[in-house]
């Protein structure tokens, strides 16, 4: 039984019910699934992009819809330190004779394919009252970085300021930053900020069976404290051992915002004046 039916509880329920074979190294509960094929590891991911939930037609273009739908999956690949190799898409929407909107959505997806050097491998189309896109893909990875690897004492960083992104424009997934981090530092855990800093950091801490202390005065926000709970930023949260030899370099390039703590310390926020328990909230579909 799910005692409190929300998105977080549903994921826990799925994890308790779904069984996998040994080729699935990481299944439900992370940014991507990690599977082994022969001696290599790959990331698998799917993501829905729905009119009225993720975008409004009056505020964007079909070209941007195609770009952003793909960028969301690429951001999940970045969170697991992957490079995209294949992307496919299923698109549904109102039937129009000239199919112009389909061509523009496809143009956006092909723009991303060229920019991020993956192969677009097709998908499906169907009629629907509203626009609905499901992106699915595969990425290669040398060593996947998961949410579950944070260590007590790790420093928490984010890759950029929060609150600066326009919901209805495309964005640049932090693939380049993730590659730089994993090639030059020992990154213990990582997640992208899709639903808000507070809820996504909580997911990372929970997966790692740890607590976290967020230094609110250190979090870079563009407009207001509400940006802490704002979704769709798509910066990366990552953790690294505080004894990292090149820690100063990380602090010069990215934003340190807190520390991973023991689980019994809980999920807390600190300002110059006070220490308090964090209420876990952010964007949830249900």
DSSP 264: G
Q: How confident is the model at residue 265 (pLDDT cuts 50, 70, 90)?
A: very high
For the record, the structure tokens of 53 come out as 């939930």
Same domain (yes/no): 170, 248:
yes
The interaxial angle of helices 175-184 and 62-79, nearest 10 deg, is 10
DSSP, collapsed to helix, strand or coil, labels residue 46 as strand
DSSP string, 173-221: -THHHHHHHHHHS-EEEEEE-SS-HHHHHHHHHHHHT-EEEEEGGGS-B
| Confidence band for 152, pLDDT divided at 50, 70 and 90 | very high
pLDDT level of residue 244 (50, 70, 90 thresholds): very high
Return d(Cα 185, Cα 58) in angstroms, integer: 43
Can you give the CATH number for the domain in which 89 is found?
3.30.1330.10
Quick one: 185 and 130 in the same domain?
no
Q: Collapsing DSSP states into helix, strand and coil, what is residue 230?
A: coil
Q: Which two tokens stand for residue 180?
A: 């730089």
> Does residue 24 fall inside a structural domain?
yes
Residue 282 clears pLDDT 60, i.e. is over it: no
Range of the domain at 266: 147-277
Number of domains in the chain: 2
**Whole-number Å distance between alpha carbons of 170 and 198:** 23
Helix (H, G, I), strand (E, B), or coil: what is residue 132? Answer: strand
Residue 284 belongs to a domain? no
What is the dihedral angle through the alpha carbons of 197, 266, 187, 179, rounded to the nearest 10 degrees?
Answer: -10
Q: Is residue 156 part of a domain?
A: yes
Residue that the structure tokens 């509880």 belong to = 9
- Of the two residues 118 and 53, the one the predictor is more confident about is 118
Q: Which of 95, 120, 140 is the last residue of a domain?
A: 140
| Whether 17 and 106 share a structural domain | yes
Q: Which of 36-40, 91-95, 186-190 has the lowest mean pLDDT?
A: 91-95
- Using DSSP, state whether 59 is helix, strand or coil: helix
The pLDDT of residue 88: 98
Tell me the pLDDT tens digit for each residue of 154-165.
999 999 999 887
Cα four-point dihedral sign 240, 244, 250, 251: positive
The rounded percent of the chain whose pLDDT value lies above 70 is 95
* First CA to last CA distance, the chain: 17
pLDDT tens profile 103-146:
999 999 999 999 999 999 999 999 899 999 999 999 999 889 99
For residues 132 and 188, membership in a common domain is answered with no
């Amino acid at each position: 039984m799910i005692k409190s039916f929300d998105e977080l509880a549903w994921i826990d329920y799925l994890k308790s019910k779904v069984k996998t074979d040994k080729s699935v190294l990481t299944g439900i509960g992370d940014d991507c699934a990690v599977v082994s094929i022969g001696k290599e590891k790959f990331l698998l991911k799917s993501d829905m992009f729905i009119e009225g939930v993720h975008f409004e037609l009056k505020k964007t273009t079909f070209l941007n819809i195609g770009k952003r739908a793909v960028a969301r999956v690429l951001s999940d690949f970045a969170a697991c330190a992957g490079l995209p190799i294949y992307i496919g898409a299923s698109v549904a929407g109102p039937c129009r004779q000239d199919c112009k909107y389909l061509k523009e959505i496809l143009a956006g997806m092909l723009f991303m394919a060229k920019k991020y050097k993956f192969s677009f491998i097709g998908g499906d189309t169907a009629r629907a009252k509203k626009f609905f896109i499901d992106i699915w893909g595969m990425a290669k990875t040398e060593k996947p970085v998961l949410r579950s690897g944070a260590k007590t004492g790790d420093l928490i960083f984010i890759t950029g300021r929060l609150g600066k992104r326009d919901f209805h424009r495309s964005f640049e997934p932090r693939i380049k930053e993730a590659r730089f981090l994993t090639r030059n530092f020992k990154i213990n855990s990582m997640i992208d900020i899709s639903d808000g800093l507070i809820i996504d950091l909580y997911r990372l801490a929970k997966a790692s069976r740890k607590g976290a202390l967020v230094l609110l005065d250190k979090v870079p926000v563009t407009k207001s404290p509400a940006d802490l709970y704002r979704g769709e930023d798509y910066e990366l949260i990552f953790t690294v051992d505080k004894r990292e030899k090149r820690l100063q370099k990380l602090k010069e390039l990215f934003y340190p915002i807190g520390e991973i703590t023991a689980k019994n310390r809980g999920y807390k926020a600190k300002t110059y004046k006070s220490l308090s328990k964090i209420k876990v909230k952010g964007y949830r579909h249900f």
